[in-house]
Structure 1
Amino acid sequence: MQNSTCHLQPSLATSVALPVIYSLLFPAGSFGNILAAWIFLKQAPTKRTQYIYLGNLVAANLCVCSTMPFLAVYFARGYQWTYVSTECKITNHLGTLNMHVSMYVTIIILCSTAINQYATLKKTSDTQYSQAINENFYRCVLKKFRQPKFAKQLSTIIWLTVLCITVIAIIYNAKEEIEKDSKCYSIGAEANETTAGIAAFVGTACFFLSFTTVLLSYYCLTKHLSKIQKTTCIGEKHLIYSTVKRNILVIQMILTVCFLPYHIFRPIFYVLLTDRYCLRLNYLVEIKNFLTCLAAAKSSLDPIIILMLDKTFKKSLYGLFTKSTPENHQCKADIFTEETSKM
């Protein structure tokens, strides 16, 4: 590799700030996502498509959170280990690699959730065109995203794909020849030009495809609502439409704030790797790692976002801290029935 002679020297921002941030994100994210997973398993209506996507999103968040202790140790001590050491292999495989693949699961699931929200609203407002829906490919795709069976199949495909990619990457990294005295925190580990470059290209393409899909969903939804408001009186459905529009907007904001900076910088990072100026390479690696941390932080914040957006989840969480009575159980069942019928 061109820059193999460059020995990275982590600054205090990397060796102190990043371990502290990951150490704080880990307990907060783990607790919130475990609580969300318990509510989805015990309380939420499993037949509702939205909850299938949200359940898989929580699972992906837990995978990201599980990598945070390894990443904290890696940034705190990685510059002291050799690349072939057991500690380095564990942190690379269970930390960096697992975090990245789980991150792309969350991106794809977020995109699927946005499409599901848009497809659900289209169903409630286009019931009179049910015959046309079966004849139009676009509407058939939207119909698929409303079906729980399709949601389960799509989620399974996503997880199996991620599992295969992870196994292949681990096997390839295990066979890769690295100098014995090479450090764990190095250009070779942080940015292997061959494997990581290809992965970066595929991952960036996947992100921008998802980003564009969500943006297009929001645009189509806004245009659709504007059209039906001119021709009909939506009345009591206005609240449902506003909620769906807000949910898609929040997903778009998450992708923009947490993931967009990383995916804009990532191609630039690999282009600038040809630079032989070692100090500049140090800065590039540290910027990349902080943008990665920003993307990982989203997994810890998701339970708060779900709490704000999903009324059923909020009421289920409130029910955990109140005295359970037959009336509460009946009320809870009515809530789920009402929410399912609406969506």
Structure 2
Amino acid sequence: MSYNSTCIQPSTISSVALPIIYTFLCIVGLFGNSLSQWVFLTKIGKKTSTHIYLAHLVTANLLVCGAMPFMGIYFLKGFQWEYQSAQCRVVNFLGTLSMHVSMFVSLLILSWIAISRYATLMKKDSMQETTSCYEKIFYGHLLKKFRQPTFARKLCVYIWGLVLGIIIPVTIYYSVVEATEGEEKLCYNQRMEVGAMTSQTAGLIGSTFIAFSFLVVVTSYYSFVSHLRKIRTCTSITEKDVTYSSVKRHLLVIQILLIVCFLPYTIFKPIFYVIHKREDCQQLNYLIETKNVLTCLASARSSTDPIIFLLLDKTFKKTLYDLFTKSNSPHIQSYS
């Protein structure tokens, strides 16, 4: 497909709104996630598997927030920079790399958190007389690993290695090969926004990956609900209602995050790659604007995660409350 540099033109949304939004999200996200990481690393002594998952999730969030200034500058100045300029190459390479690496890492970790929370529920219930042999093996041995801190650390390291090993070569190939094939004059152009064959294929694979992560969370949530209904028909769980409600809330929050932030991006990306091939500049501009807004929405989750941590982890909430109120210093020290 031929690329026409004059076909797409940045609108007010791209050149004004998105830079402002990315700047705001960057400031909020860096503050909230830096504070969260400090709490996880220095104020919580006995770390559970959930704390380890959340600490790596915060690292991914900080990477997203670090990419936001590059994204904001690109939308603010991209239509003024030359395509082959150093600032265009640096902003796009670092912004694209950081954004996609952290996005996929955070999705995997959110999936493992969902599995870990589900395993918390099954810890005791898998040993009940009403539980089948298959359930005892699956819940008692396989899911139990996701609750082990050692396993959680190794799993997170593998996640980073896998994602970096896949995305870095694709990004380098795009920057060195695909990005140099065109004759565009401006940094903000159709090739940069749409991508060539390799980057489009990688984008479709990424969308499939996001859909898989969403499926894992949804499956965990509805398996939990199904199991809860089952044991409620067999025995009284009055004493466990608080634990069950907590796990259910955790899984529901993660599911809502994926639905609001990632599902629109996942659904639209394949549609974008199919429809953009039509020779209609006005339609192409609308598609690109939509893609950029949905990408911004997906990255916004990283800035709001510290609020989610308050809902997911009681230790984090209590520690943060004590730090701000300074009303219970001995209790704070007990975590370290």
TM value normalised by structure 1: 0.91
- Listed one character per residue, the Cα deviations across residues 278-317 of structure 1 (whole Å, up to 9, x for unaligned) are 1111111010000000011110000011113321111110
Q: Do the aligned partners of 2:64 and 2:302 also contact (CA within 8 Å) in 1?
A: yes
1:290-305 superposed matches below 5 A: 290-305=293-308
Alignment partner of 1:93 is 2:93: yes
* Alignment correspondent of 1:74: 74
* Alignment correspondent of 1:140: 141
* Alignment correspondent of 1:63: 63
What letter corresponds to residue 152 of structure 2 in structure 1?
A: A
* Alignment correspondent of 1:158: 159
What letter corresponds to residue 35 of structure 2 in structure 1?
A: L
Determine which of 183, 186, 189 is the counterpart of 2:186.
183
* Alignment correspondent of 2:84: 84
Alignment partner of 1:193 is 2:196: yes
Q: Distance in 1 between matches of 2:17 and 2:332?
A: 46
Q: Distance in 2 between matches of 1:181 and 1:224?
A: 57
- CA-CA distance at 1:169 after TM superposition: 2.5
Gaps of 5+ in 1: 337-343
Instruction: Say which is worse superposed, 132-141 or 216-225, in terms of deviation.
Output: 132-141
* Alignment correspondent of 2:271: 268
What letter corresponds to residue 160 of structure 1 in structure 2?
A: G
Q: Distance in 1 between matches of 2:330 and 2:138?
A: 46
Alignment partner of 1:126 is 2:123: no
Q: Distance in 2 between matches of 1:139 and 1:271?
A: 45
* Alignment correspondent of 1:115: 115
Q: Do the aligned partners of 1:19 and 1:72 also contact (CA within 8 Å) in 2?
A: yes
Alignment partner of 1:222 is 2:221: no
Q: Distance in 2 between matches of 1:231 and 1:134?
A: 16
Q: Distance in 2 between matches of 1:190 and 1:247?
A: 36
Q: Do the aligned partners of 1:83 and 1:178 also contact (CA within 8 Å) in 2?
A: no
Q: Distance in 1 between matches of 2:321 and 2:222?
A: 34
* Alignment correspondent of 1:50: 50
* Alignment correspondent of 1:312: 315
TM value normalised by structure 2: 0.93
Q: Do the aligned partners of 1:98 and 1:166 also contact (CA within 8 Å) in 2?
A: no
Q: Do the aligned partners of 1:207 and 1:263 also contact (CA within 8 Å) in 2?
A: yes
Q: Do the aligned partners of 1:64 and 1:103 also contact (CA within 8 Å) in 2?
A: yes
- CA-CA distance at 1:91 after TM superposition: 1.1
Instruction: Say which is worse superposed, 318-327 or 258-267, in terms of deviation.
Output: 318-327
Report the count of equivalent residues.
333
Q: Distance in 1 between matches of 2:183 and 2:319?
A: 54
* Alignment correspondent of 1:31: 31
Determine which of 205, 211, 215 is the counterpart of 1:212.
215
1:276-287 superposed matches below 5 A: 276-287=279-290
What letter corresponds to residue 159 of structure 2 in structure 1?
A: I
What letter corresponds to residue 190 of structure 2 in structure 1?
A: I
Q: Distance in 2 between matches of 1:230 and 1:34?
A: 45
Q: Distance in 1 between matches of 2:176 and 2:122?
A: 49
- Listed one character per residue, the Cα deviations across residues 108-144 of structure 1 (whole Å, up to 9, x for unaligned) are 1111100100011101222347994797356533122
**What's the C-alpha RMSD, in Å, of the aligned pairs?**
2.2
Q: Do the aligned partners of 1:83 and 1:184 also contact (CA within 8 Å) in 2?
A: yes
- CA-CA distance at 1:191 after TM superposition: 1.4
Identity of aligned residues (%): 49
State the secondary structure of the residue aligned to 2:58: helix
